[in-house]
Structure 1
Amino acid sequence: MLRSTEQIEPKSSLLSKLLLTDPAKLQSLSKNDVEELTELAIEHGVAALLVQVLQQRQLKTPLLSSLADFQLHQDMRNQLIEQQYQQTLIQLTKAEINFVVLKGYALGYTVYNNPSLRTKSDVDIIINSDNKNEIVEAFETMGFRNPRGWSPTALLNQFSMRKTLSPGLNVDFDIHLRLSNELGIENILTFDELMDSADTSTLQNIPLVSKPHGLIHAIVHLLHHRNVGDTVKLIWLYDLVLLCQKMSQLEINEFRKNIDEKGLGTLSKFALDLANVYFEDESIQNVLNSLDGASSNPELLYLTTIDSRTQQLQRSLQQRKSLGEKWLFIKEMAFPPAQEIYQKYGKKPPYLLPFYYLRRLIGGVIKYLAN
């Protein structure tokens, strides 16, 4: 098994090396190594990229065979869903609903050589929060439904819409009302800023986040997930690499201007340094050099740390100023509407609801203590 510090600490380091350097060592991998690397590549969203690298170098290894089987299924699935994504986005434009596409779907078209290389499970868009009811109606007209059964207002700044094509084959959209669910950075980029600078030339009738704003979002998204203890996926770091490679000098200057205005100097350097650990690249270093002397907001530095669940809860309550806001946050977290209970445990007789609320609460406490 891959257990040496060089190969698997951190566990994604070998994958990044395989994507960038001569992977001759693959010929000597054991069956267990191949299985582990396959699982890691899928978990980190780089299976498609690794298949491309191995095929281009004509390395017919067991790892390629293992990944190719998975990727063949994914490619067939993606062909069906991609048509649905574009049709849905075009319909929103025709309905005169303003939106900007964020994250993986947008980056697949703006910085990847082929959109299929950017793994994604859904499409993220941001809208003007005043248009929430209008966009829900538009999605429902196209056959989408909220898979959660309700939309939290205190816990999240987003909601989901899903259309099921067949069992297990879903078309998912995440609709953001703010850039992030983390209140400290939710307004780092406003909808108006994103809309004004959106890329409207790459895909006709579908506005994509600009590269400078896409890099800012990729940075704060990655650091937020790292802060709450989530796995930092290799594909997120690779996004940073490609954004740095594909930005023009004019776009780098625009990025630097935004970083100064929003006090993101330290956060940006931290995230780009992290990407450089895995993908040492001149383009990353070039952008890092452009950030010399960039301003930093000390109130955001917590995003460079990894917080415990207790620290996360304390911060969430502190960020909500009034008692009413704090209570609504606790209520939505601990006692969501019955729709969510039914979604999780199945439709049950009403008299069993208290039992399932208690079960959910006890499970949450156990999970909290375990972490």
Structure 2
Amino acid sequence: MSKLTTRSISQPVESLLKACFRGDVVQWPGESAAFRQEVLDVLHQHAIAPLLLFHHDQAAVLQNWPSSLLQALKKIAKQEAVREMVWEEELKSVLCTMKERGILPILTKGTAFSYTLYPKMGLRPRSDVDLLIAKEQSELVAELMREIGYDSQFEQAGDFLSSQTSFSKSGKLGVTQYFDIHRQISNASLPFSRALSYPELMDRAVDIPALGSNARTLSNVDALLYACFHRAGHYAYEGEHLIWLYDIHLLVEGMSDDELSSFFEKAREMRILGACADAILSAQAWFNTKLSTGFSEKLTSSLQADASIEYIADGRLTGIKRRAWLEANELGTWRERFRLYYEKLFPPAKYMVWRYGIKNRAFLPFYYCYRLFFAIYVLIKG
């Protein structure tokens, strides 16, 4: 299993938070201002501050914690609740407009989980809304988003680099709203996306009544496959992200034995069982996910079932190098492998401007050179 403590969380903070999420009554360990700030930073960076406060309200697990820390958590939770209200109103409007144009999106990741897994508004912080659409409707959706006031952050950059177009707009109360429109399920792997295409995901999709008649999301099995693989695909660049593990924790606890069995066989078939097993066992280590003894043993014995466990490599350069190798190895032809590396090394200019925050396009050649030399550095040092 991946070593969680190497990714910006110290052992004392990890032990403290794990105890909290087990529901233990946790006495605050001392009066160190530095430790208090570290706890707050981890909760904020990993987007679990509202969750911890919710656990406090439910089970009084934070007895004797510093009042300043609890006040900071309440402030974050309030901000997230306000953001959620603004986002919900806008999301319903966008989905309704899409329905009028014959566009049937599938909500994925954080927004979908917020309305299907979490018990209260504002407990699932996120930076954007992810919508999967039929590939042939990409231009129609882009046109619609611009009509209703959204600006595109970057256009399509090729299926191997980024299969999404991102849009943003300033909304009510100063909340900027972001939509990522995906024409395939994953940016991390074209073979993964081919195995979970929009038509078959739509056949199994389930409604989200709270968001209106044009709101649907992935089935539990598909959602868990995606959540586990999404975590693996981003691990080299971002390390562990606890809110993603909590999504997995809630998904697993809400699934039937038949669904878990179907998930296991599908993950094996897609050759991502190693990464999926690591994700679920990591969620269990953090959040005490309830797993049957038999299922837990199956996961543990499957950690090395395939090469996908290589996505969960400690060390950023090593992880990036192994991810690049895995992506190329999954592709069927040398032509596709060439396209993969070409798109990653030489993206469209607008993508580069967005990715690096370039203010003056005259500096574009420098950033292309930087991207190329970084790839060489990863190849040598990773």
TM-score (norm 1): 0.82
CA distance in 2, matches of 1:10, 1:316: 36
1:197 aligns with 2:210: no
How many residue pairs align between the two structures?
360
Contact 1:194 1:209 survives alignment (8 Å): yes
The aligned residue for residue 61 of structure 1 is 65
Residue 96 of structure 1 aligns to a residue whose secondary structure is: coil
CA distance in 2, matches of 1:284, 1:233: 25
**Residue correspondence of structure 1 range 41-120 to structure 2 within 5 A:** 41-58=43-60, 59=63, 61-62=65-66, 63-120=69-126
RMSD: 3.4
The letter of the residue matching 1:28 is: G
Residues 296 and 120 of structure 1, relative CA distance in 2, 3 Å threshold: same
CA distance in 2, matches of 1:12, 1:224: 23
CA distance in 2, matches of 1:158, 1:71: 29
Residues 29 and 49 of structure 1, relative CA distance in 2, 3 Å threshold: farther
Residues 325 and 107 of structure 1, relative CA distance in 2, 3 Å threshold: same
Unaligned runs of 5+ in 2: none
CA distance in 2, matches of 1:311, 1:263: 16
1:180 aligns with 2:190: no
Residue 282 of structure 1 aligns to a residue whose secondary structure is: coil
CA distance in 2, matches of 1:164, 1:15: 35
**Residue correspondence of structure 1 range 1-371 to structure 2 within 5 A:** 8-9=10-11, 12-26=14-28, 28-58=30-60, 59=63, 61-62=65-66, 63-148=69-154, 150-153=155-158, 154-165=160-171, 169-183=175-189, 184-200=191-207, 202-203=209-210, 204-205=212-213, 206-226=215-235, 228-283=236-291, 287-288=295-296, 298-306=306-314, 307-317=318-328, 325=336, 328-340=339-351, 342-343=353-354, 344=356, 348=360, 353=362, 355-359=363-367, 361-362=369-370, 365=373, 368=377
Q: After TM superposition, give the deviation of residue 339 of structure 1 in Å.
A: 3.1
Residues 235 and 310 of structure 1, relative CA distance in 2, 3 Å threshold: closer
CA distance in 2, matches of 1:20, 1:316: 37
Residue 171 of structure 2 aligns to a residue whose secondary structure is: strand
CA distance in 2, matches of 1:194, 1:57: 38
Residue 173 of structure 1 aligns to a residue whose secondary structure is: strand
Residues 45 and 313 of structure 1, relative CA distance in 2, 3 Å threshold: same
The letter of the residue matching 2:119 is: N
Residues 317 and 261 of structure 1, relative CA distance in 2, 3 Å threshold: closer
- Percent identity over the alignment is 23
Alpha-carbon displacement from aligned partner over 1:165-206 (angstroms, at most 9, x marks no partner): 279632111122222122252333221221111111544310
Residues 191 and 284 of structure 1, relative CA distance in 2, 3 Å threshold: farther
Residues 308 and 257 of structure 1, relative CA distance in 2, 3 Å threshold: closer
Q: After TM superposition, give the deviation of residue 242 of structure 1 in Å.
A: 0.9
Contact 2:153 2:168 survives alignment (8 Å): yes
Q: After TM superposition, give the deviation of residue 45 of structure 1 in Å.
A: 1.1
Contact 2:168 2:176 survives alignment (8 Å): yes
Q: After TM superposition, give the deviation of residue 108 of structure 1 in Å.
A: 1.3
Residue 28 of structure 1 aligns to a residue whose secondary structure is: coil
Q: After TM superposition, give the deviation of residue 115 of structure 1 in Å.
A: 3.8
Unaligned runs of 5+ in 1: none
CA distance in 2, matches of 1:366, 1:272: 32
Residue 171 of structure 1 aligns to a residue whose secondary structure is: strand
TM-score (norm 2): 0.80
